Structure 1
Amino acid sequence: MNVGFQIRRFTTFFFRSLFWSLNLLLALYTLLSYWLLYSLPSQHWSAGMVMISIPIVWLFNLVCLVLWLFTRPWRSWLSGVVLLIGVVLFGQRTFVWNSPRNTPGGGTSVKVFSYNVQSFGLDNDWARVHSSPKVRRIVNYALRYDAPVKCFQEFHTSTANPDYDVVRRFRQAGYSYSALLHPELASVTDGSVGVAIFSIYPIIHSGREVFSRGNGLVWANIKVGQDTIRVINVHLQSMGIRVGKVFKQDKLTGVRHETRGVLSALRYGFIERREQVKRVERHIRESEFPVIITGDHNDTPYSVVYEEMRRVLPNSFEDAGRGFGFTYNRLPGYIRIDHQFHDPKLPPLNFETINYVSYSDHYPIAGTYLIGGARKKK
């Protein structure tokens, strides 16, 4: 047996042992993330970092499973079991395939449309003054989409151009009732209204709570026939993920700077959203009517915010959606951060992520709910 063969055998053994050790650490880390998300023993921002990494560690575990299948098949069980546990615990919030349901007799179906419109592009001074085809397309889409209740985040309006006077145009289109986070900005040349609800049905009462300049919630008690529901539209603190800026850096110092910026923004976002979701829960508890929550939560299904909301109300995507439901139209892309949650008295008949509409950095979502069916059956 020559020296070269011995060296190769030792090298193979070393790297295989190292890979197995890393696989063990990966499995322990994955199980830790499961425990944190399932039991929420801590809501510290560092725990939030671990939770949102679940899809990434799933990918790493899948790579380990495949590699071991081709080298040491018996070792593939570790990542296989870890992945199976993840599917059992969190599979429903990751991928579902529900069929749309028909409206049963005695009830009314109401579609709630939600869209982060990225200011319609009107936060740009040039766009507000000049006629921009891009702005007109997204405004017209928001106006023409067929839904009696429409909720927006990063809503912007401007009286500088009749085409961009979006609040006025919604009212002319039949949405006579509205609730706005910053109603005082609804008729100015640069109106960053923020969060908005428009309804064809009467709004009998409404309220708002500002978290920060652009973030907050608006709620509206909406009369649908003989029934009343409360719709709460939220826009929580941004995730701060700007992965594209990291990849655009030519030098290592630039990559480090942008990476630190992303991590700092993530930390700040975790802390802020943790407090903001408590305010959302208070509005749910105070409502005398069944509630639908919609909006840009800026958190994935593997987060404190999502788990907290899920313990209060069922998630509409999980109950009536299809596929993965990714809602973010920028890098990293494969995440779902726009959500709807519903009272069990308002079962979803259908839920759609409209991922072919790419005017904004978010995709629109729409849930259709049965209103009053249970009451009228009595």
Structure 2
Amino acid sequence: MTLRMRVGQLIAFFFRSLLWSLNLLLALYTCLSYWLLYSLQTEHWLAGMLMISIPVVWFLNLVTVGLWLTTRPWRSWLSGIVLLIGIILFGSRTFVWHQPNELTTPGTRLKLFSYNVQAFGEQEYWERRQSSPRVRRILNYVLRYDAPIKCFQEFYNSTGVSDYDMVGRFEKAGYHYSAFLRPEAAHVASGDIGIAIFSIYPILDSGRELFDTHNGIVWANVKIGNDTIRIINVHLHSMGIRVGKVLKQKKIKGVQHETRGVLSALRTGFINRNEEVRKVEEYIQNSHYPVIVTGDHNDTPYSVVYERLRRLLPNSFEEAGRGFGFSYNRLPGFIRIDHQFHDPKLPVLNFETINYVKYSDHYPIVGTYLVK
């Protein structure tokens, strides 16, 4: 054996050993993330960082399996087992494929539409004055979509511009009942209502709780025939993910600055949402009626917020959705942060993420429930 061959073998051995060591660390990290999410032993923001990284470490484990299969196939078992455990524990949160359930028992089909409308583009002042075609399209879409109850986040209203007088337009469209996070903003020339519920069914009672400038809870007890259910519409603290800003930076210092900003926003978001979800739990537990929770939760299925709500109510996507259900229309794009949870007394017949409607930075979500 020549010296060159020996050197080549040593280099190959070094890189295989390095890869195996990294593989062991990756497997330990993945299992720790599983344990944190499954047990919720701690809700510290660092634990939250580990939990939301689960899809990323799944991808890394899959790559590792592929690498070992081409060199040392027997070593692929480690990441393979780790992936299998993740699919068993959390697979239904990631990908499902259900067919719509047919109505086989007596009851009323209730379609619940939820959409973060990004203030209908009102941040562009000239559009508010000129009512551009893009703005008119989203305004008309949310008005015409066929659903008796509609929930919105980042809802905007203006009595000074006819197209933006959405409260009045919903009233004319037959939605005579409503509940707002900021009711006073419904009757001014430029009103940031925030969270809104519109219903063609009578609202017997409602309430609201403001967390900060944009976030909060609005609930409404809705009478449907002889039954009453509670709709809880939430908008929790933003995730703070602005990947586009990081990618637009041309200098290392700019990338470092924006990355620090994203990490800081993530930390703040984890802390705030963990406090806010406890308020949501109170409104669920204090309700005398079956509950549906909908809205922009700003957290993925691998988070404290999702896990806590999932322990109280089944998730509608997991029970009746199709595909991955990604609901965020911006980079990174492969996350599901808009959710619906329902009382078992209100079985879900169908759930859809309308990912071809791209007027906002979120996609609309629609759940169809059976009110027995």
Alignment TM-score, normalising by the size of structure 1: 0.98
Contact 1:355 1:364 in 2 (8 A): yes
Equivalent residue for 2:287? Answer: 287
How far the C-alpha of 1:129 sits from its partner, in A, is: 1.2
Equivalent residue for 1:75? Answer: 75
How far the C-alpha of 1:105 sits from its partner, in A, is: 3.6
- Amino acid in structure 1 at the alignment position of 2:58: W
Contact 1:117 1:362 in 2 (8 A): yes
Equivalent residue for 1:314? Answer: 314
Question: Identity across aligned pairs (percent)?
Answer: 70
Contact 1:128 1:160 in 2 (8 A): no
- Amino acid in structure 2 at the alignment position of 1:296: D
Instruction: Tell me which moved more, 94-103 or 288-297.
Output: 94-103
Equivalent residue for 1:63? Answer: 63
How far the C-alpha of 1:341 sits from its partner, in A, is: 0.2
1:371 aligns with 2:371: yes
1:231 aligns with 2:231: yes
Q: Secondary structure at the match of 2:241?
A: coil
Instruction: Tell me which moved more, 29-38 or 154-163.
Output: 154-163
Q: Secondary structure at the match of 1:36?
A: helix
What do the CA deviations read for 1:192-246 (whole angstroms, capped 9, x no partner)? 1000000000001000000111100100000000000000000000000000100
Compute the RMSD of aligned alpha carbons: 0.7
Equivalent residue for 1:209? Answer: 209
Contact 1:179 1:196 in 2 (8 A): yes
Q: Secondary structure at the match of 1:306?
A: helix
1:172 aligns with 2:172: yes
Equivalent residue for 1:148? Answer: 148
User: How do 1:325-340 and structure 2 match up within 5 A?
Assistant: 325-340=325-340
Structure 1 stretches of 4+ moved >3 Å: none
Partners of 2:45 and 2:199 lie apart in 1 by 37
Equivalent residue for 1:255? Answer: 255
1:347 aligns with 2:314: no
Aligned pair count reads 372
Alignment TM-score, normalising by the size of structure 2: 0.99
How far the C-alpha of 1:333 sits from its partner, in A, is: 0.3
- Amino acid in structure 1 at the alignment position of 2:185: L
Partners of 1:178 and 1:300 lie apart in 2 by 29
Equivalent residue for 2:193? Answer: 193
Instruction: Tell me which moved more, 160-169 or 220-229.
Output: 160-169
Partners of 1:236 and 1:209 lie apart in 2 by 12
How far the C-alpha of 1:125 sits from its partner, in A, is: 1.8
How far the C-alpha of 1:123 sits from its partner, in A, is: 2.8
Instruction: Tell me which moved more, 116-125 or 327-336.
Output: 116-125
What do the CA deviations read for 1:336-375 (whole angstroms, capped 9, x no partner)? 0000000000000000010110110000000000002xxx
5+ residue gaps, structure 2? none
Partners of 1:112 and 1:264 lie apart in 2 by 34
Partners of 2:30 and 2:16 lie apart in 1 by 21
Instruction: Tell me which moved more, 47-56 or 97-106.
Output: 97-106
Equivalent residue for 2:87? Answer: 87
Q: Secondary structure at the match of 1:274?
A: helix
- Amino acid in structure 2 at the alignment position of 1:341: F
Partners of 1:358 and 1:93 lie apart in 2 by 23
Contact 1:129 1:160 in 2 (8 A): no
Partners of 1:123 and 1:170 lie apart in 2 by 22
Partners of 2:329 and 2:70 lie apart in 1 by 36
Equivalent residue for 1:375? Answer: none
